[in-house]
Amino acid sequence: MCALFNKHDLYEACVQSPEHLAPLLRAIHGGEPATLGEDFSGTAALSYEWVKRDGARAISADLDAAALAHRGDHERISKVVSDVTTVPDPCDVLFVGNFSIGYWHTRDELIAYLRHARSRMNPGGVFVCDTYGGESAFLTGDVHRPTPLPNGYICRYTWEQRHADPLTGMVTDVIHFRIERAGVIEHEFMDAFVYEWRLWSVPELRDALIEAGFAETQVFAKLADAWDDQGNAYVEPVADAEDELDDSFIVMVAGRV
């Protein structure tokens, strides 16, 4: 059974949605961005979706060489096994997804990274990261979701917030996968991914972006109806949080040059 699925396959199937994210990032940019920087990219699933458009290219950076090698090579994707603070390649959109901005645990680390990100921006470029917040942000517990897989398999995906400290902003988030077929559990990947993160609030991220040299910040809600039938995305920045955000929310925070 382990030969059929590994944790990277399951992460892509259950957690990511690059076919929606790529047009959303293009819409946030607002122009015709050609080059994507994907920091903390993992398997670079977003980069592979990005380069489906003619002329597009991507730079995917991660410390995990095995994750970066998961999908093989692509002539328009540059893969960099490196600390993301050393990647020099310029880009039109630089994205940090799956709450990976939380890898920076102190404000000094966050500012230093964002200054480096700002240095990579082409004219008109935009930096985008996601975070979560609201009334449940520092509650512990878990969320379950089934995802169909090929050949009749189902993956029971679990997102667990195991630890959360509102006084320090530190959280421990864990992902588990359970593979079933015909009601029989065939394999479990417990603690498949374990993250020790600083959960930065939206105001903290916006302040840090301005201090790092970005000219303007915006916040975008992750909306289920942001895409049309052709896969194009249409977004506007949040103008009124009370009306546009749920009590618990996931948002994308953008910094423009």
Last residue of one domain, picked from the residues 165, 182, 198: 198
- Quick one: 22 and 70 in the same domain? yes
Does 2 reside within a domain? no
Does 147 reside within a domain? yes
- Quick one: 28 and 60 in the same domain? yes
Last residue of one domain, picked from the residues 157, 177, 198: 198
- Quick one: 92 and 24 in the same domain? yes
- Quick one: 103 and 154 in the same domain? no
- Quick one: 86 and 204 in the same domain? yes
* Residue 181 structural domain: 141-198
Does 1 reside within a domain? no
- Quick one: 147 and 35 in the same domain? no
- Quick one: 175 and 70 in the same domain? no
- The dihedral through the CA atoms of 227, 27, 223, 6 has a sign that is positive
Per-residue pLDDT of the chain (257 residues; tens, 9 = 90+): 445 789 999 999 999 989 989 999 999 999 999 999 999 999 999 999 999 999 999 999 999 999 999 999 999 999 999 999 999 999 999 999 999 999 999 999 999 999 999 999 999 999 999 999 999 999 999 999 999 999 999 999 999 999 999 999 999 999 999 999 998 999 999 999 999 999 999 999 999 999 999 999 999 986 655 777 776 778 889 988 888 888 999 999 999 99
Does 251 reside within a domain? yes
**What CATH number is attached to the domain comprising 82?**
3.40.50.150
- Quick one: 168 and 50 in the same domain? no
What does pTM read for this prediction?
0.93
Last residue of one domain, picked from the residues 163, 182, 198: 198
Q: What is the model's pLDDT at position 231?
A: 67
Q: How many separate domains does the chain show?
A: 2
Does 194 reside within a domain? yes
Does 150 reside within a domain? yes
Does 166 reside within a domain? yes
